[in-house]
Amino acid sequence: MAKEITNREENYSQWYNDIVRKADLAENSAVRGCMVIKPYGFAIWENMKAELDRMFKETGHQNAYFPLLVPKSLFEAEEKNAEGFAKECAVVTHYRLENDPDNEGKLRVDPNAKLEEELIIRPTSEAIIWNTYKNWIQSYRDLPILINQWANVMRWEMRTRPFLRTSEFLWQEGHTAHATKEEAVEEAAMIHEVYTRFAEDYMAMPVIKGHKSESERFAGADDTLTIEALMQDGKALQAGTSHFLGQNFAKAFDVKYLNSQNKEEYVWATSWGVSTRLVGGLIMTHSDDDGLVLPPRLAPIQVVIVPIPKPNPEIMEVADKIAIELKGKGIRVKVDRDDKKRPGFKFAEYEMKGIPVRIGIGKRDLEKGLVEIARRDTKEKESIALELCVDHVSGLMDIIQNNLLERAIQFRTDRTTTVDSFDEFKKVLEENQGFIYAHWDGTAETEEKIKTETKASIRCIPVDAKDEDGVCVYSGKPSRRRVLFAKAY
């Protein structure tokens, strides 16, 4: 397996694409802007999905499923949401094909099979879900509704990249309905915390928690909470968002309930989601010029056992015994039984796939009662007594997980700068990129001018931002606190 990955420093974008392809995660499809997620890439997503699904259910949420197609009239009901997604919509106008009389063997859209109402392929599901909730909610006794769905959505993107931005992608979207504003605000904040814990505890990807500026909010939201991660090229990745929707969708779809005083009120709402772009975030946070690097908690294979130079009965007996014991500790293990490929090829292949730990078992080592343990995160190798192997490897799982998080935190610290002038701001972007803390006067006009001149946007107003009198780096007007800027995906 030829490694031949483009160096990150030479061409970061190509480096990313090389890893996606050579680690066998995904490939382009026959549909422009869409990807085929291959088994190994999908296994990573399945592990993400399993952990998130567990976390959602632990907080009282249930899964459901809603239609892929949304009647155009429903989509238009909440004006800000419709306007925000309009340019990305794919629209179904006809429901049948027929033989083209002018081209034998070709098909054309049957002009007589036009839909009475056009259907939008969901870019997000608020419209169809809130039209449904109208039938589910009559009284305060019907609240709260805590629903999540795992689904695909379509947003017609012009510039695409596997996992990070594709026209069709997989995600989860939560949609909740509440009797009070306080409950809805608390829900949005709770999910924000769930996303933070998942990113840091499972992805080993540190994030900054904050609120989006008004112009960067989700279309139709009163407030958007975000987690922002820093990739190795110094660009930010919006890794998850949780929205307080106020009563906007309830009013658009006339969703009311009778309170305990028998008075009618509009329902309060949230929505929230993360997508397969998290796989892209995982790649860009940890990987190196030899391939993918995966945190153990999400790795499809946590340990691979490789016989050296080839499988034989004596070595395989030991390998299978180690595998059984590791599996008994809940560790995902693969025993390599391939007798055709050379060990060096296998090592490169497993390094490319980011498997956290490799155990090498050779005849000479066995005679000494040893096995070789190699870590993917540090490239360190050591010989360990056979009887200590299982406990040692089991302990490495948390050590590697923590090391990847600490390494990513240190990288973020090194690439985070506080500036007090626009010249400093531009200099950091030219020389270092990364996160920039700077004062902002709070106006959309200044925000847009900074973005136009530098391509850096306000990633968030951090939740832990302290009040600090200052002046905006662009306008010189008074500012109450610093906000987080960066160029972003």
Query: Among candidates 50, 74, 78, 44, which has minimal Cα distance to 63?
Result: 50
Supply the pLDDT for residue 406. 98
Which fold, 417-486? Answer: Translation Initiation Factor IF3 (3.30.110)
Decide yes or no: CATH 3.10.20.30 for domain 12-67+139-286: no
Query: Among candidates 447, 464, 471, which has minimal Cα distance to 208?
Result: 464
| Predicted confidence (pLDDT) at residue 2 exceeds the cutoff of 60 | no
Supply the pLDDT for residue 57. 98
Task: Quote the percentage of the chain above a pLDDT of 70.
Answer: 99
Amino acid at 8: R
For 352-385, how does the pLDDT look when each residue is reduced to its tens digit (9 = 90+)?
999 999 999 999 999 999 999 999 999 999 999 9
For 305-327, how does the pLDDT look when each residue is reduced to its tens digit (9 = 90+)?
999 999 999 999 999 999 999 99
Residues 6+ apart with CB under 8 A from 427: none
For 387-420, how does the pLDDT look when each residue is reduced to its tens digit (9 = 90+)?
999 999 999 999 999 999 999 999 999 999 999 9
Arithmetic mean of pLDDT, 4-20: 95
| Predicted confidence (pLDDT) at residue 1 exceeds the cutoff of 50 | no
Annotate 298-358 with three-state secondary structure: CCCCCEEEEEECCCCHHHHHHHHHHHHHHHHCCCCEEECCCCCCCHHHHHHHHHHCCCCEE
For 197-247, how does the pLDDT look when each residue is reduced to its tens digit (9 = 90+)?
999 999 999 999 999 999 999 999 999 999 999 999 999 999 999 999 999
Alpha carbons 47 and 396: distance in angstroms, whole number: 19
| Predicted confidence (pLDDT) at residue 3 exceeds the cutoff of 70 | no
Decide yes or no: CATH 1.10.3720.10 for domain 303-411: no
Supply the pLDDT for residue 104. 75
Residues 6+ apart with CB under 8 A from 259: 140, 179, 265
Average pLDDT, the chain: 96
Alpha carbons 390 and 210: distance in angstroms, whole number: 42
Query: Among candidates 306, 282, 279, 293, which has minimal Cα distance to 354?
Result: 293
Ordered by start, the domain boundaries in the chain are 12-67+139-286, 303-411, 417-486
